[in-house]
Amino acid sequence: MIQLRDSELFRIQLKARMPFRYGIATMTEVPHVFLRLTFDFDGTPATGVSADHLPPKWFTKDPKRALDEEIEEMLLVLRTAVVNARQLSAATPFAFWRELYAAQAAWGVTNKIPPLLAQFGVTLVERALIDAFCRHTKTTLATALHENTFGIELGDIHASLAGTAPADWLPAQPPVRVFARHTVGLSDALTDEEIPADEKVADGLPQSLVACIRFYGMRHFKLKINGESARDQQRLAQMAKIFAAECGDDYAFSLDGNESFHEVSAFKDYVTNLRANVGDDAFWSKLLFIEQPWHRSVALSPAIGELAAAWPDRPPIIIDESDAEITSLPTALSLGYAGTSHKNCKGVFKGAANACLLAQRRSRGETSMMSGEDLSNVAPVAVLQDLAAQACFGITSVERNGHHYFAGLAQFPAALQQHMLTHHADLFVKTDAGWPRLNVDHGHLELGSVLAAPFGYAGDLDLSAIAIKSL
């Protein structure tokens, strides 16, 4: 049986190297937490670690709430998940997660905590459990998924998958090389000339879109839009010219609406005008998909299905923030969406089941897709675990923005910096300033060391120099 024995929470405040504007928020700094949990596996202890940002204005996009209030609520969600986990005993990691998911969901309903936020705490416990289990069994995430030592019952999540296993749907060999899809935030400079002198970053890393393309060899891009037609058209037109000049015909992009549209039908008119006034057919042929244009209050409403029926030539549209519950993806698919995103903050086992459901649909000739998105994740844990999951689900274009908005591991203790350089030399490179950064090479990331590790990161991390907070 599996039981939670000990828990520790570590917190560090990270400052962004430039503001990141997404949706209604602009991030200049953010708390980053590590959760270290020790589980008992049939009498044998094993420890695992998970980590993530606590990003205000993403889980609940309420412009009226104070940032500190939202951060404290995220910490409450995390602490509650740990308290709930302490009450559980289960035979497999999947069964443990299912019981914890149910307990946290009930608490969320009672306390009026939205499901996406409530389950964030569960995902941090889940990720630490997966890490501990893989270390206990001396295996990797990919192997555990394919041999199903996690005990995953796909039919418990999606009925159509009953009687099948993850190995029936997930790639036999995860890709060891993926595109890093570069985020262009709403306030990001497109050229160096646009950057005011007092806003230029002097840390040796690129800042503008053009500089990033030349420095990293970027070929996949995620472009933020906010529904302001004139502004969006002007920026996208400029980006189309930049891509043609810097990348030729070798690029692709997604659009992220960040829930900007509250009126369902207005989005069709917005897209029609965008395509008529920006670029040409060659540019729009590079569009991969559009991510969560509608606000979550309407994104899964019947009106979406009505619009889809009247818009047969629409581009692929996926959910992100609306993927809050186990039933969210099937609901979205029934309304005409093409799929969903994966990021570990929404759950690894849930993401695995969603990836299997979408693979099943593709096997039937139905259009379906899962994208890889980001929560500005950084090393030494969060971004590696996220990359491991993305690869295991067969996702080859993964948004990575943490390395762009934060200066690598510059703000972390020296021991953690050296750990990444020692154990993950394919994924990190030392900068001239001495700290490690993500090694985006010709627009790609190499994941050999990530996939060979138990769950993302290799070795044992020294977190002693990071402040510990009580749970």
Place of tokens 């037109």: 237
Mark out the alpha helices in 255-381 (DSSP H runs): 266-277, 281-284, 302-309, 328-334, 348-363
Residue 239: both structure tokens together: 């980006």
Domain positions in the chain: 2-138, 167-462
Checking if the pLDDT of 199 tops 70, the result is yes
**Averaged pLDDT of the chain:** 96
Summarize pLDDT for 332-376 with one digit per residue, the tens: 999 999 999 999 999 999 999 999 999 999 999 999 999 999 989
Report whether 436 contacts 410 (CB < 8 A). no
Neighbours of 249 (CB within 10 A): 9
Residue 23 pLDDT = 67
Question: Which pLDDT tens digit goes with each residue over 288-314?
Answer: 999 999 999 999 999 999 999 999 999
Taking residue 173's Cβ as centre, other Cβ atoms within 10 Å add up to: 11
Class of domain 2-138: alpha beta
pLDDT at 175 over 80: yes
Residue 25 is predicted with a pLDDT of 76
pLDDT value at position 299? 98
- From residue 408, alpha-carbon distances to 3, 146, 188 in Å are 35, 32, 18
Fold held by 167-462: TIM Barrel (3.20.20)
pLDDT of residue 328: 98
Distance of CA 4 to the CA centre of its chain: 26
Q: What is the pLDDT of residue 438?
A: 98
- Average the pLDDT over 83-94 and give the result: 98
92 CB-near residues (< 8 Å, 6+ apart): 2, 150, 151
pLDDT, one tens digit per residue, over 227-264 is: 999 999 999 999 999 999 999 999 999 999 999 999 99
**Is 320 in contact with 292 (CB distance < 8 Å)?**
yes
- Alpha-carbon distance of 353 to 357, in angstroms, equals 6
Alpha helices in 64-177 (DSSP H): 67-86, 93-110, 115-137, 141-147
Q: What is the mean pLDDT of residues 213-237?
A: 96
pTM score, two decimals? 0.96
Predicted confidence (pLDDT) per residue in 407-445, tens digit: 999 999 999 999 999 999 999 999 999 999 999 999 999
